[in-house]
Copies of this chain bind each other. A is one copy, B any other.
Amino acid sequence: MSRQPENRKPATSVDVARLAGVSRATVSHVLNGQTEKFNADTVERVRSAAAELGYVRSTAGRALAMGRSDLVVVVVPYTTFIRLQDVIEVLSSDIAELGFSMVVHFSMSRTKEETPNRLLHLIETLRPAGVVDLGGVSRRELDLIEKTGCAVLPRKLHFDVNHWIGILQARHLHSRGYTELVYAFLSDVRDDPYGRSRSAAVTEFCEAEGLTAPIHVHVPIEPEGAEEALKTVLEQRGRPVGIACFNDEVAVAVVFAAKRLGLSVPGDVAVIGAEGAEIGQAVSPRVTTVKGDVPAAVRHIRYLLAQTFGGPAPSDGIPPQEDAYSILPGETT
């Protein structure tokens, strides 16, 4: 059974119907799971005929008839993700499990994003079942997309993950006694939405605690640039200083820049990273970081997907997203 046909054209529902001795409509119904209202005999005949012919529903025909496709567009923000592979791998698997296919769209820099909008065009031409927003969809785009009737998945970010990460970083530094805080962006061409949220959270924390507003630096991973950036920080803030970094690579760059400058870590310079990259734990000193549990974080989206498209929801309920993030203490704070 399930023998692939040698002939060129793939089997259609007509072929299945003919072989099973029923009508196309019956085939369609049975194969879409409306199996209750048919003779067990009929169902079986249809199924084995389909298997025999290696029949696979054409998404094109299906999409045309239904008005929307089996595609889910995942919008990746214009930022640098250490865990991107993990995230889209898990998402892809969740999406596939619900019978959809994932198409990935990369946002561009806000300033560079042309109009008419690439994302909107993609959605108009693909008519996807839904859009999963990893943080790359602007307010304006969101409105436009929803006007097309397409579901945008984290509908409203009840909870801004990046804001939370920034708060965790600032709170940790503060709890370790640092009162002069700095936010270190990854120096890059990107104008990064994640970095914006995280640094805004640090600023907010300082306000709430009555600390001086944190300064911002852009730190390249490359050694000379990192040293330069760190020197600037010390000129402006003296020491000790606590630096919340965009990610663990920035954190590592800062830590090693400090060492080369003869500064003590965490005595003069305390450093906390984000995203919990494994590499931060392999070096000495191990960097303190905000570790995110990718599967747990993505489970939230999986839940929304299932809810929206009627698939099987994760049995273990939906945990609060805060729980997916925690401080991983290292030797740099």
Contacts and interface: CB of A to CB of B under 8 A. Distances in A.
Interface of A: 2, 4, 6, 8, 10, 54, 56-61, 63-64, 69-71, 80-81, 84-85, 88-89, 92-93, 96, 101-106, 116, 118, 121-122, 124-127, 144, 147-149, 221-223, 226, 249, 252-253, 256, 259-260, 278-279, 281-284, 286
Given A56-B121, A56-B125, A284-B260, A279 B221 contact: yes
Given A4-B147, A81-B85, A103 B71 contact: yes
Contacts of A59: 63, 69, 125-127
A89 B106 contact: yes
Nearest to A96: B118
Given A54-B124, A85-B85, 13 more contacts: A2-B116, A6-B147, A58-B64, A58-B127, A60-B64, A84-B85, A96-B118, A101-B103, A104-B104, A221-B282, A222-B281, A226-B282, A252-B283
Contacts of A260: 284
A317 B269 CA distance: 49
A104 B126 contact: no
Contacts of A4: 144, 147
A56 B148 CA distance: 12
A124 B252 CA distance: 46
Nearest to A74: B104
14 contacts: A4-B147, A56-B121, A59-B63, A59-B125, A60-B63, A89-B106, A92-B105, A92-B106, A104-B104, A222-B278, A249-B278, A252-B279, A252-B283, A253-B279
Contact of A102 (B104, B116, B148, B221): B104
Contacts of A122: 101
A124 B10 contact: yes
B104 A58 contact: no
A88 B61 contact: no
Contacts of A61: 64
A60 B283 contact: no
Given A102-B103, A103-B102, A57 B281 contact: no
Contacts of A125: 56-59, 70
A147 B5 CA distance: 9
Given A103-B71, A116-B2, A253 B226 contact: no
A58 B65 CA distance: 12
Contacts of A60: 60, 63-64, 69, 127
B85 A80 contact: yes
- List 8 A-B pairs, minimum CB-CB distance, nearest first: A60-B63, A221-B278, A56-B124, A253-B282, A60-B64, A84-B85, A103-B103, A56-B125
Contacts of A58: 64, 125, 127
A187 to B, nearest CB: 11
